[in-house]
């Protein structure tokens, strides 16, 4: 499914990712854990196609297709979703209109029919209940006046609506309380299945209690320094990242 | 008198002078001749150089010439007065409470317009004055449909709202070819009367349009102005208000959306002259290519105008490296118990928001259009007059289709 090989990424000429490789087969959930500044967010932004993140070497393919040659919206249409660590407020943009426009842009790009207003309304109401966002919140301009937790719920709402083939969740757990963590777990576990993959980027093990990963990778100094099963996350929780930062 | 013109007139100014001699010089023309066509060495015109934009002589537009321009407001039921190349025409009866007549021009300029070179020129050269008087509450809008064809044209309108009257005035400014359209509108808004003015301006790339609207407001009177400017070679939309009566209020919302080498200048001067007056003003501009958006806003608070509450905001969105926004917010305050504020910002499109939207599947054009629309949205938020705001929104969308 998602194959990243020897990825080098620089921002303003400074190399952040230094030969990162990851292979996440369809149907699996992988976690990437690492200390601050190890390159976790750089990884998510580079895969999603943010301009300022310059890929200087390596490849990233989704089902054999070279993602790096595509515009961010083309990557989205291929089924790539990024749940942002810091979702922004977009004043003046009506939430439902934005999500519907985005959904239909993806559908058009895939040669599918656009979704009608009525079908969309049913869908968003249904998913909003799942992530715990009220109708009133959906009527606001996008994320305006939302708490950190509500913004994360809005990310999960979109993930549930778009049903991406591959989702990168960039520190979705940060700033969430226990109920919200459980909600994130529910959304992921409902989508989880053959033909779909997840990359969960996190500092802590606590989200992984709700989303049991198939593999855990430690990112330090811009590359994967250790991989293992779910028990690796527990070990990190106990012993911290020091040994890896020193090694990197 | 007229020294500037006599010393070193441009071909255009020499033509104006000859034309004034032929008509017989008027006090209004002499007032104009003190400065001639306003130019960049005059502080109030430093970003809008009318003289520089029109050096070559431009003959007067043929009166009665048909200029075809479809009305943007055809879907709005309004009483339409066409002002084509300065000549006013209407058919049918005006709404109840509205009287319209054409009078010979020549009345003295109202004090608010007297020192204005182009207001003076319009008064000097307009063939007649369109008088509109309004009593009572008039629901059906009055549409002043101004259309300019090639050449120079001048018009003058006087509006009187009786105490307690209310009306909506739509003013569209369209033009084709190389023109100079210069209009003066003077209004007296009586106590507790309300005038809503909706402006939609879209000129040609060769067109110069200057419009001065000067109004006095009685006690408790209200003036609401919404404007969408698409610019032209050089456009100046100027509003001067004197809030003379206690508790008078003004509300301004405007947007300039400009591409190519277009220019639009929105200038306002609000004099708070009595107690408890309030003004709200917001101006936004979205500028691309080499366009230039000018905003000059001045709040004057006279001695004794206590409890004035005035707020002004100007925001520019620069969509290219070569677009230019010139803002001049000004406060001049002579009373001590007032609340006045102004703010001015200019910035580029938010790259992070753009990336976020593209990650969700919008292509770059769609995402930019949505962000620009979001930036401009609150200008058209007037819940009253939904159909007029809708026309403006459609115009904005048409612009975004091409410009985003």
**Contacts of A151 by beta carbon, 8 Å cutoff, 6+ apart:** A87, A143
Q: Which residues contact A92 (CB under 8 A, 6 or more apart)?
A: A141, B373, B374, B375, B376, B377, B378
Is A48 in contact with B377 (Cβ distance < 8 A)?
Answer: no
Cβ-based interface (< 8 Å): residues of A facing B: 48-52, 71-73, 75-77, 81-82, 84, 87-88, 90-93, 98-99, 101-103, 105-106, 109, 141, 158, 162
Range with the poorest average pLDDT among A64-73, A141-150, B76-85, B383-392: B383-392
Vertex A73 angle, CA A67 and A78, to 5° = 55
d(CA B198, CA B282): 14
Q: Do A90 and B362 touch (CB under 8 A)?
A: no
**Cα distance between residue A158 and residue A174, in whole Å:** 18
CB B88 within 8 A of CB B129: no
CB contact under 8 A, A73 and B373: no
Ramachandran angles phi, psi of B168, nearest 5°: -115, 130
Among the residues of chain A, which ranges form H helices? Answer: 40-48, 72-77, 95-109, 117-131, 135-138, 148-162, 178-191, 231-239, 242-247
Shortest distance between the Cα of B192 and any Cα of chain A, in A, equals 33
B73 three-class SS: coil
Secondary structure (3-state) at B383: coil
Instruction: Classify residue A234 as left (phi > 0), alpha (psi -120 to 50) or beta.
Output: alpha
pLDDT tens readout for residues B314-344: 999 999 999 999 999 999 999 999 999 999 9
Q: How far apart are CA A150 and CA B173, in angstroms?
A: 46
In chain A, the N- to C-terminal Cα span, in Å, equals: 28
> Cβ of B358 and A92 within 8 Å?
no
Distance CA B39, CA A237 (A): 72
Mind listing the pLDDT tens digit for each residue in B288-324? Answer: 999 999 999 999 999 999 999 999 999 999 999 999 9
Q: How many residues does the structure list for chain A? A: 248
The closest of B98, B267, B84, B239 to B168, measured between CA atoms, is B98
| CA–CA separation, B183 and B120 (whole Å) | 10
How far away is chain B from the Cα of A178, in angstroms, using its nearest Cα? 27
Q: Which long-range contacts (CB under 8 A, 24 or more apart) does A142-146 make?
A: A142/A89, A142/A90, A142/A91, A142/A93, A142/A94, A142/A95, A142/A98, A143/A87, A143/A88, A143/A89, A143/A90, A143/A95, A144/A89, A144/A90, A144/A91, A145/A89, A146/A89
> Sheet holding B166-175: strands in order across?
B87-90, B79-84, B142-148, B166-175, B194-202, B222-229, B249-258, B278-287, B309-318, B339-347
Count the alpha carbons within 13 Å of B86 in the hemisphere toward its beta carbon.
Answer: 29
Query: Taking CA atoms, what residue in B is nearest to A97?
Result: B370
* Nearest-by-Cβ selection for B366 from A50, A103, A105: A105
Cβ–Cβ of B359/A72 closer than 8 Å? yes
Q: Are B353 and A92 in contact (CB < 8 Å)?
A: no
Q: Which of B226-246 are b and which e, b meaning 16 or more Cβ less than 10 Å from the residue's Cβ?
A: bbbbbbbbbbbbbbbbbbbbb
On whether ipTM exceeds 0.85, the answer is: yes
Contact call for residues B70 and B174 (beta carbons, < 8 A): no
Q: 10 Å Cβ neighbour count for B27?
A: 15
Q: Which of A78, A86, A105 to mutate to test the interface with B (most CBs of B within 10 A)?
A: A105
- Cβ within 8 Å, pair A102-B378: no
- Residue B254 contacts by C-beta under 8 Å, 6 or more apart in sequence? B199, B225, B226, B227, B228, B229, B266, B282, B283, B284, B379
Q: Which CATH architecture has domain A1-81+194-248?
A: 3-Layer(aba) Sandwich (3.40)
Reduced to 3 states (helix: H, G, I; strand: E, B; else coil), residue B389 is helix
Please say if the pLDDT value at position A192 is more than 80: yes
What pLDDT is stored for residue B24 in this prediction?
86
**Residue in the block written with tokens 């938010």:** B350
- The structure tokens 């905003």 sit at B295
pLDDT score of A175: 85
Give CA–CA dist B285/B345, Å, rounded. 10
Residues in B closer than 8 angstroms to A155, CB to CB, are none
Contact B360 A77 (CB under 8 A): no
CA pair distance A127, A103, nearest whole angstrom: 14
User: Residue A181's pLDDT is what?
Assistant: 93
B374 and A48: CB-CB below 8 Å? no
Per-residue pLDDT tens digits for A118-130: 999 999 999 999 9
Q: Nearest chain A residue to B357 by CA: give it.
A: A102
**pLDDT computed for residue B380 by the predictor:** 85
Tens place of pLDDT per residue across chain B (404 aa) = 444 455 789 999 999 999 999 988 899 999 999 889 999 999 999 999 999 999 999 999 987 666 666 788 888 999 999 999 999 999 999 999 999 999 987 788 999 999 999 999 999 999 999 999 999 999 999 999 999 999 999 999 999 999 999 999 999 999 999 999 999 999 999 999 999 999 999 999 999 999 999 999 999 999 999 999 999 999 999 999 999 999 999 999 999 999 999 999 999 999 999 999 999 999 999 999 999 999 999 999 999 999 999 999 999 999 999 999 999 999 999 999 999 999 999 999 999 999 999 999 999 999 999 999 999 988 987 646 778 888 999 999 999 998 87
Give the start-to-end residue ranges of the domains of chain A: 1-81+194-248, 86-163
Residue among A51, A73, A87 minimizing CB distance to B362: A73
Give the relative orientation of helices B117-125 and B11-23 as an angle to the nearest 10 degrees: 40
Contact of A55 with A46, CB cutoff 8 Å:
yes
With tokens 């020897």, the residue in question is A6
Tens of pLDDT, residue by residue over A81-111, are 999 999 999 998 999 999 999 999 999 999 9
Please indicate whether, in this complex, the C-beta atoms of B361 and A48 are within 8 angstroms of each other: no
3-state secondary structure B103-118: EECCCCCCCCCCCCHH
Tell me whether residues A76 and B373 touch, CB distance under 8 A: no
Confidence of residue A244 (pLDDT cuts 50, 70, 90): confident
Count CB pairs under 8 A between chains A and B. 75
Using 50, 70 and 90 to split pLDDT, how confident is the model at A156?
A: very high
Partners of A102 on chain B (C-beta within 8 Å) are 357, 360-362
Residue B214 to residues A51, B49, B107, B343, Cα–Cα distance (Å): 49, 21, 15, 24
């Amino acid at each position: 499914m998602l194959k990243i090989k020897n990825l080098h990424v620089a921002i303003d000429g400074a190399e952040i990712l230094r030969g990162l490789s990851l292979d996440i087969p369809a149907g699996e959930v992988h976690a990437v854990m690492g200390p601050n500044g190890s390159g976790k967010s750089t990884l998510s932004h580079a895969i999603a196609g943010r301009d300022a993140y310059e890929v200087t070497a390596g490849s990233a393919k989704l089902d054999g297709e070279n993602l790096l040659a595509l515009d961010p919206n083309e990557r989205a249409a291929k089924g790539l979703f990024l749940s942002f660590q810091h979702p922004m407020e977009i004043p003046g943009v009506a939430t439902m209109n934005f999500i519907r426009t985005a959904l239909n842009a993806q559908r058009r790009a895939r040669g599918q029919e656009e979704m009608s207003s009525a079908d969309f309304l049913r869908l968003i109401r249904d998913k909003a209940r799942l992530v715990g966002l009220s109708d009133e919140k959906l009527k606001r301009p996008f994320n305006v006046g939302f708490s950190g937790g509500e913004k994360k719920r809005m990310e999960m709402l979109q993930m549930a609506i778009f049903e991406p083939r591959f989702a990168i969740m960039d520190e979705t757990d940060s700033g969430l309380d226990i109920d919200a963590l459980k909600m994130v777990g529910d959304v992921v576990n409902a989508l989880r299945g053959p033909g779909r993959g997840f990359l969960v980027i996190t500092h802590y093990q606590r989200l992984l209690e709700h989303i049991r990963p198939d593999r855990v990778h430690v990112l330090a100094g811009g590359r994967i320094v250790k991989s293992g099963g779910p028990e690796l996350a527990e070990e990190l929780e106990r012993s911290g990242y020091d040994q890896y930062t020193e090694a990197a | 008198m007229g020294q500037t013109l006599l010393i070193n007139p441009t071909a255009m100014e020499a033509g104006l002078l000859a034309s004034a001699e032929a008509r017989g010089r008027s006090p209004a023309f002499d007032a104009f001749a003190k400065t001639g066509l306003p130019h960049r060495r005059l502080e109030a015109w430093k970003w809008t150089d009318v003289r520089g934009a029109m050096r070559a002589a431009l003959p007067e537009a043929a009166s009665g010439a048909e200029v075809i321009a479809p009305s943007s407001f055809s879907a709005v039921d309004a009483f339409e007065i066409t002002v084509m190349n300065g000549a006013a025409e209407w058919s049918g009866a005006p709404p109840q409470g509205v009287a319209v007549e054409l009078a010979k021009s020549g009345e003295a300029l109202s004090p608010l317009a007297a020192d204005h070179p182009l207001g003076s020129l319009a008064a000097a050269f307009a063939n007649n004055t369109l008088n509109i008087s309004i009593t009572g509450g008039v629901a059906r809008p009055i549409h002043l449909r101004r259309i300019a064809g090639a050449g120079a044209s001048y018009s003058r309108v006087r509006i009187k709202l009786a105490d307690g009257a209310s009306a909506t005035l739509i003013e569209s400014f369209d033009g084709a070819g190389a023109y100079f359209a210069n209009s003066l509108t003077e209004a007296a808004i009586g106590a507790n009367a309300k005038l809503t003015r909706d402006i939609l301006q879209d000129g040609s790339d060769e067109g110069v349009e200057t419009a001065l609207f000067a109004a006095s407001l009685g006690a408790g009177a209200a003036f609401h102005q919404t404007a969408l400017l698409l610019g032209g070679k050089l456009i100046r939309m100027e509003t001067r208000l004197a809030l003379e009566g206690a508790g008078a209020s003004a509300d301004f919302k405007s947007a300039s959306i400009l591409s190519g080498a277009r220019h639009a200048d929105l200038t306002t001067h609000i004099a708070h002259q009595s107690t408890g007056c309030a003004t709200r003003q917001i101006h936004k501009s979205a500028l691309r290519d080499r366009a230039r958006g000018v905003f000059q806003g001045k709040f004057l608070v006279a001695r004794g105008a206590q409890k004035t509450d005035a707020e002004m905001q100007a925001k520019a969105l620069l969509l290219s490296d070569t677009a230019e926004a010139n803002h001049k917010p000004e406060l001049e305050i002579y009373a001590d118990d007032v609340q006045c504020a102004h703010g001015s910002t200019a910035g580029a499109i938010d790259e992070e928001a753009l990336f976020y939207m593209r990650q969700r599947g919008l292509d770059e054009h769609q995402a930019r259009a949505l962000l620009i629309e979001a930036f401009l949205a609150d200008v058209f938020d007037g819940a009253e007059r939904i159909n007029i705001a809708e026309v403006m929104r459609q115009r904005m969308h048409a612009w975004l289709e091409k410009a985003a």
